A and B are shown apart, each in its own frame.
Chain A
Amino acid sequence: MSDAAAPSATAYRTSSRRIGFLVAALAIAVLPLVLGGSYWHTNLTVCAINVLLALGLDFILGYAGQLNLGQSAFYGLGAYVSTLLITKLGVPFWGAFAAGVAFAGLAGMILALFAVRLRGHYLAIASLGLAVIIHQILLNWISLTQGPLGIYAIPPPPAIAIPGLPRVDFRNPIALFYLVAGFALLTYFILDQLVRSPIGETLTAIREDEISAASLGINAAAWKVFAFGVGAAVGGAAGCFYATFVGTLVPDAFFITESFTILSMVIVGGMGTLIGPVWGAILLTLLPELLRDVGDLRLVVYGLALTLVVLFMPGGLVQAARLVRAKLGLLRERAP
C-alpha cells in the first residue's frame, strides 16, 4: 500500500512544482506588459534583484544555519568588481559578470573559513565586520572606486543579436527585467534542486546539530564553505545586475543596513524555505511603494516587521500560509 502511494505522492509534488515554475515564468513574462511605465519597470527589476539577494542569504542562513550579516559586502563586491572590469579594463559584460560572481563567491568562502571555527554570534559579528571593512574600502580607495563620488554611466549589457530572431536590446527596461528575473528564476531552480538533493539534507543536518552531523561523518567545515560560496555568489550576481540596471555606483548602496534589509526579507518570508524569501523580497520591496505616505518611515516598517515576525511568527509568511491552509482544510472537512 504505502509503497504504491509513495511514488504517486512524489509525482504529484513534482508536477505541482512544474506548475509552480510555469506560473512564475508566465508571471515574469506578463507582468512588465500589464504594469506599464518606467515606474513599474523599475520596481519590478528591483524586486528581481532583491529576490536574488534574499535567495543567496537564505541558502546560508535558512539551510546551513549560519547568520550572515555580510550579504551587503558580497552584493557590493559583485557590483564593483564587474563594473570596474568593464569601465577600467574594457572587459566584455558577461566576462565581468562571471568575474564579479566568482569574486563575491570567493569572498564568501574566505569568510566561511572563519565560520569553520566560529558559530552563532561570533560568526554574525565577523560577517558584520567584513561588511564594514568592504564598505570602508569602497569609500576610501578613491583612486580605484572614486569613493563617495561614485562611478557614473555604467553601460547596460550588450544587445543580443541572433540572426533570424529579433534583436534584444537591454537599453529597453523590459528586456533588462526579463534578463534579471529570468536569472532569478534560474537561480531558484538550481537552489531548489540543491536543497532537495542529499546536499540539502547535509546542510540541514549541520544547521540542526553540528556535533551529531560530524558524528555521521559529515565534514561540517567544508559544507559551510560551500554554502557561503553559493550564497555569496548569488549576492554577487545581484550586485552585477544592480550596477548595470542603475548605471551608477556609490559605496553607500552597500552599507551594512543593506544586510539588515535583506535579512528582513528572508525572515519575513520564512527562512529555510526558498519560496518564503521570494515573497518576503517582493512584499518588502513593494509595500513601502504602496504606502507612499510612509516616506521616511520605510525602514521603520522593515525593522518593525523583522521584530514582530521573530516574536510572533518565526516561520514568516510561509508559516502564516500553512496556518491559513490548515484552517481552510479543517473547514472543508467539516462542511460535507
Chain B
Amino acid sequence: MRSSGTRQVTATIVAQQAINGIVLGSLYVLVALGLTLIYGVLVQINFAHADFVTLGAFAAYFFMHLFGGSYLASIGVALVVGAVLGWLINVSIFAPLRHKGSELLPLIATIGVSVMMQNAMLSLFGPVPYAFETPYSQQVFRVAGTFFTAQSIIIIAVSIATIALLYAFMKFTFLGKALRAVAQDRETAGLMGINPSYLIMLTIVISSALAGMAGAMLAPVLVLTPFAGTSVIVKAFAIVIIGGFGNVEGTILAGLLVGLIESFTTQYLDPGLIDIVVFGLLLLMLAFRPTGLISERREENV
C-alpha cells in the first residue's frame, strides 16, 4: 500500500509532465496547423516546413544576440522570416509545379529544399547546439508543487491567441471564407470570382509565418541546431495524420496529444523512445483509421 505522501508526489509529477506536454504540444500545433492548412487548399506537403521553423529560430536568436533585440520582438522577426520563406517556396516550387498535375513532384522538390536548407545552415551556423536563453526561462513560478516558467506562459498565451485569431479569420472574414471555399472545391471557387492562386499563396505565407514564429518559441525549449527541424517535421507529420490531413480541430487535438506523449515518455520510459511511440501510433492510425481522429468527408486521398 502506498502512503499518501508518495501518491501526492506521483500526482505532482503527473501534473508537471502534463504542463510540459501541453507547452510542447501547443508549439507542435502551430507547426502542424501550417502543414494541414496548405494540404487543405493545395493537397500538397511542404517538406521544408520544419526547416522554416529552424530558420525562424536562428533569426530570432541572432536578432536577440547580435542586435540586442527583445525576445518578444524576436518572435515577430521569426514570423516575418517564415512568411518570406513561404512566399519564396510558393513562387519557386508550388506555383510552377501546380499545373503539371503530379502528386509527388512538388513533395520531392521540397525534400530537395529541405536538404539544401539544413546543410546550408550547417555550414553557416555549425553543428554545435546553440543555447537560446530568454529572460523568461529564468523566471519560475511555483503552483501547488509544480513549476512553470514565464517562457511557458508566453508560449501557451501566444499559441492560444494565434489559434483564436486564425479561427476568427477563417470563420468571419471574407478571405477566410474564400479560403475554405478553395479548400472544398478549387474550381467552383474559381468560378465564384475567387482567385485560387492568390489564396494558395496567402495560405502558404500564413502557414510558414506560423512555422517561423513557432521556431522562436521552440528553440528555448528544445536544442537549437541546423537539424532541429528534422525531429520537429517527423512529429508534425505524425500529428497531421493522427489528426486527419486538412482537419484543423483534429490537428489541435493530435498536437497536444503528441506533446503529452513526448513528456510522459521522457518521464516514465526513455527519451530515446519518443519517436518510436509517436510513429508507432501513426502507423496504427494509418492501418486502422487513416482519416484521423475526427472523421471528415475528404476520403479520396486515403
List the interface of chain A (C-beta within 8 A of B).
67, 69, 114, 117-122, 124-126, 128-130, 132-133, 136-137, 139-140, 256-257, 260, 263-264, 267, 296-300, 302-308, 310-311, 314
Is B70 an interface residue when CB atoms closer than 8 A count as contact?
no
B270: chain A residues within 8 A (beta carbon): 140
Cross-chain contact A118 with B112 (CB below 8 angstroms): no
A125: chain B residues within 8 A (beta carbon): 45, 237, 241, 282
Count of interface residues, chain B, beta-carbon cutoff 8 Å? 49
Cross-chain contact A136 with B276 (CB below 8 angstroms): yes
B107: chain A residues within 8 A (beta carbon): 67, 121, 124
B122: chain A residues within 8 A (beta carbon): 296
Question: Which single member of A126, A264, A314 contacts B286 (CB below 8 Å)?
Answer: A126
Shortest Cβ gap from B182 to chain A (Å): 19
Closest chain B residue, CB of each to CB of A302: B115
Closest 5 CB pairs of A and B: A306-B112, A303-B116, A303-B115, A307-B112, A299-B119
Cross-chain contact B301 with A122 (CB below 8 angstroms): yes
Shortest Cβ gap from A302 to chain B (Å): 6
Cross-chain contact A300 with B104 (CB below 8 angstroms): no
Cross-chain contact A129 with B112 (CB below 8 angstroms): no
Is B113 an interface residue when CB atoms closer than 8 A count as contact?
yes
Cross-chain contact A256 with B230 (CB below 8 angstroms): yes
Q: Could you list 15 A-B pairs, sorted by A, with CB under 8 Å?
A: A117-B286, A122-B245, A124-B107, A125-B45, A129-B279, A257-B115, A260-B111, A260-B115, A263-B111, A296-B122, A299-B115, A300-B119, A307-B93, A307-B110, A307-B113
Cross-chain contact A307 with B109 (CB below 8 angstroms): yes
A267: chain B residues within 8 A (beta carbon): 108
Instruction: State the total of A-B contacts with C-beta under 8 angstroms.
Output: 138
Cross-chain contact A305 with B112 (CB below 8 angstroms): yes
Cross-chain contact A310 with B112 (CB below 8 angstroms): yes
Is B287 an interface residue when CB atoms closer than 8 A count as contact?
yes
Contacting A at CB under 8 A, from B258-302, are 270, 272-273, 275-276, 279-280, 282-283, 286-287, 290, 301-302
Question: Which single member of B100, B104, B119, B276 contacts A120 (CB below 8 Å)?
Answer: B104
Is B214 an interface residue when CB atoms closer than 8 A count as contact?
no
In the complex, besides A257-B115, A304-B112, A314-B105, 8 extra interface pairs with C-beta distance below 8 angstroms are A118-B290, A120-B103, A126-B283, A129-B282, A132-B275, A133-B283, A140-B273, A306-B115
Is B157 an interface residue when CB atoms closer than 8 A count as contact?
no
* Residue interface bits B103-144, CB-to-A below 8 A is 1, else 0: 111111111111111111011000000000000000000000
Cross-chain contact B302 with A303 (CB below 8 angstroms): no
* Residue interface bits B81-98, CB-to-A below 8 A is 1, else 0: 000000000001100110
B279: chain A residues within 8 A (beta carbon): 129-130, 132-133
Q: Once bound together, how far apart are the Cα atoms of A314 and B100, in whole Å?
A: 11
Cross-chain contact A300 with B120 (CB below 8 angstroms): yes
Chain B interface, >50% SS class: helix
List the interface of chain B (C-beta within 8 A of A).
39, 44-45, 92-93, 96-97, 100, 102-120, 122-123, 230, 234, 237-238, 241, 245, 270, 272-273, 275-276, 279-280, 282-283, 286-287, 290, 301-302
Closest chain B residue, CB of each to CB of A304: B116
B237: chain A residues within 8 A (beta carbon): 125, 128-129
Question: Which single member of B105, B114, B302 contacts A122 (CB below 8 Å)?
Answer: B302
Cross-chain contact A306 with B108 (CB below 8 angstroms): yes
Question: Which single member of A122, A139, A264, A314 contacts B112 (CB below 8 Å)?
Answer: A264
A299: chain B residues within 8 A (beta carbon): 115-116, 118-119
Q: Once bound together, how far apart are the Cα atoms of A306 and B105, in whole Å?
A: 10
Cross-chain contact A137 with B276 (CB below 8 angstroms): yes
Q: Once bound together, how far apart are the Cα atoms of A264 and B106, in whole Å?
A: 14
A311: chain B residues within 8 A (beta carbon): 92-93, 96-97, 109
Q: Once bound together, how far apart are the Cα atoms of A137 and B279, in whole Å?
A: 12
User: Which of B45, B100, B116 has the largest count of A CB atoms less than 10 A from its CB?
Assistant: B116
Q: Once bound together, how far apart are the Cα atoms of A299 and B39, in whole Å?
A: 27
Q: Once bound together, how far apart are the Cα atoms of A267 and B108, in whole Å?
A: 9
Q: Once bound together, how far apart are the Cα atoms of A59 and B225, in whole Å?
A: 35
Cross-chain contact B123 with A300 (CB below 8 angstroms): yes
Q: Once bound together, how far apart are the Cα atoms of A277 and B119, in whole Å?
A: 23
Q: Once bound together, how far apart are the Cα atoms of A267 and B112, in whole Å?
A: 11
B241: chain A residues within 8 A (beta carbon): 122, 125
A121: chain B residues within 8 A (beta carbon): 39, 44-45, 103, 107, 245, 301
Shortest Cβ gap from A303 to chain B (Å): 3
Closest chain A residue, CB of each to CB of B231: A132
Q: Once bound together, how far apart are the Cα atoms of A295 and B281, in whole Å?
A: 39
Question: Which single member of B100, B113, B275 contacts A303 (CB below 8 Å)?
Answer: B113
Closest chain B residue, CB of each to CB of A140: B272
User: Which of A130, A256, A267, A307 has the largest count of B CB atoms less than 10 A from its CB?
Assistant: A307
Closest chain A residue, CB of each to CB of B300: A119
User: Which of B104, B105, B230, B272 has the largest count of A CB atoms less than 10 A from its CB?
Assistant: B104
